[in-house]
Amino acid sequence: MKQSILVSMVCAALLGLAGPGLASESGIVKTLQGQVLIERGASQLQAKVGDPVQERDRVIVRSNSSVGISMRDETLLGIGPNSTMVIDRYAYDPVTREGQVETSILKGTLRYVTGLIGKTNPKAVKVTTANATIGVRGTEFVVEVPGKD
């Protein structure tokens, strides 16, 4: 009896530790060329294929570089050279297929292919630039924001 209680407590502790880490992963770096940085809080990480991306991450793509990110709901983000994008908000429930995606493209280019969130509820997807907010009504678009040098 004591052993089964101990096993239950260990399993609960492990699930508690794994839960927040899994919940915070919004997507994954699928393709990468050149130098791409992920700013997460005070840290700046050199991105690699397979790395997770999270809500509030700032993705910085240097010149002659690009990155492809696949989000948990199958949204695809292609970020071109000399670009900066922020994942402002990302929530997705794979059971209900409901969620919300909000990104900001600060400069450069972003190719956006809608995933399950946008197909289920297009109003739950927003892409913001310095001058406009784009509401998704289709399944694919490209945004270009001139950078300030």
The answer to the question of residue 5 being in a domain is: no
CB 71 within 8 A of CB 77: yes
The answer to the question of residue 49 being in a domain is: yes
Task: Give the count of domains, the chain.
Answer: 1
CA distance 120 to 124: 9
The answer to the question of residue 3 being in a domain is: no
- pLDDT (tens digit, 9 = 90+) per residue, 99-128? 999 999 999 999 999 999 998 898 999 999
What is the model's pLDDT at position 2? 40
- Structural element, H or E, at residue 134: strand 133-135
pTM for this predicted structure: 0.78
The answer to the question of residue 43 being in a domain is: yes
Dihedral angle computed from the Cα positions of residues 146, 136, 87 and 64, in that order, rounded to the nearest 10 degrees:
-40
> Which residue range(s) make up the domain with 132?
26-145
CA distance 111 to 124: 18
What is the model's pLDDT at position 10? 35
The answer to the question of residue 53 being in a domain is: yes
Band (pLDDT 50/70/90 cuts) for residue 57 is: very high
The answer to the question of residue 44 being in a domain is: yes
